[in-house]
A and B are shown apart, each in its own frame.
Chain A
């Protein structure tokens, strides 16, 4: 190697010229302050930009720092999805019972509501709360001194309907 060093001696002397290339006077006096002001400006901008999503940043930083977390997170997501599918496919799963209960409940409630509407006691007390117009069975005094036509015996409310079908 010494021989090759000697071979390149004049080249090394020429390369020494580069050591004499210097930046403008005072350049290194202002350099640190420029670096620090850029760091401070960067900190401010960063904190303003990501103030709302700092938790997301931290979350992503964990992924960046430890790539193993990425695979662990993806695996757990897949597992959750798989479990969800299997659980939904089960024939005797509790979700169906729950669904049935939730479906039957309104039906019962509807029946009760209907009966309560039709029962004279509840109609009389006027405790029904509904946004729909309710036909009251109570007799309403007519402006002309007659009975309201709506208040009739229950049987008269039922009318037989005959549809005429042409061609029969």
Chain B
């Protein structure tokens, strides 16, 4: 199973808005069955975003649950100015950034396993092929180095990389989630990639 594939992006753009609105209306009236459906719909993307920000499964689990609980409690204040998905994302992102600020540098990685498809992903195979300076690097090592490098980025820069390069969201969607303009998103993305490239130069092929 691949989390937050571009297929998720397709869902984002056409998430059957009528159904979602009806579910949100029912959930606002306290209908937990409707809210259960909303949780099922967005749990993977919300969890994945938090996981990629924290690099820790237990923290991601707690924060994802708390985000959905907070969203349910705050549903009455949801005016519908943005989509429920964007609003939910904002809650999750704010919660995660607050958590990371409190935790500061006390980082402890608890990484999820790679799925079976990783070994057959042509891009990844290319990375660990003879073109890579570190030929002995296995996927597990690559995963650890990548997560360690991600944690070196500041929270806003890490978030842009996660939302764009991992989750596949557009600049516009990221700007709405982060409540900033597209220019800021682009500049943050550029700077974050530069930083990552520096941290991971041993594992990247020639550009």
B: number of interface residues (CB 8 Å) = 54
Tell me if A8 is interfacial: C-beta within 8 Å of chain B: yes
A: number of interface residues (CB 8 Å) = 31
Are B114 and A16 touching (Cβ within 8 A)? no
- Residues on the A chain within 8 Å of B166, using CB: 15-16, 18-19
Tell me if B99 is interfacial: C-beta within 8 Å of chain A: no
- Residues on the A chain within 8 Å of B73, using CB: 42
Tell me if B136 is interfacial: C-beta within 8 Å of chain A: no
Are A23 and B112 touching (Cβ within 8 A)? yes
Tell me if B113 is interfacial: C-beta within 8 Å of chain A: yes
Chain B: interface secondary structure?
helix
Are A11 and B2 touching (Cβ within 8 A)? no
Please give me the residue from chain B that is nearest to A20 by CB atom. B118
Tell me if B180 is interfacial: C-beta within 8 Å of chain A: no
Are A17 and B68 touching (Cβ within 8 A)? no
Are B64 and A42 touching (Cβ within 8 A)? no
Binding site for A on B (CB under 8 A): 1-5, 32, 35-36, 39-40, 43-44, 47, 51-52, 57, 61, 64-65, 68-69, 72-73, 77, 111-115, 117-118, 121, 123-124, 126-127, 139, 142-143, 146-147, 161, 165-166, 186, 190, 193, 196-197, 200, 203-205, 207
Binding site for B on A (CB under 8 A): 1, 4, 7-24, 28, 31-32, 34-36, 38-40, 42, 65
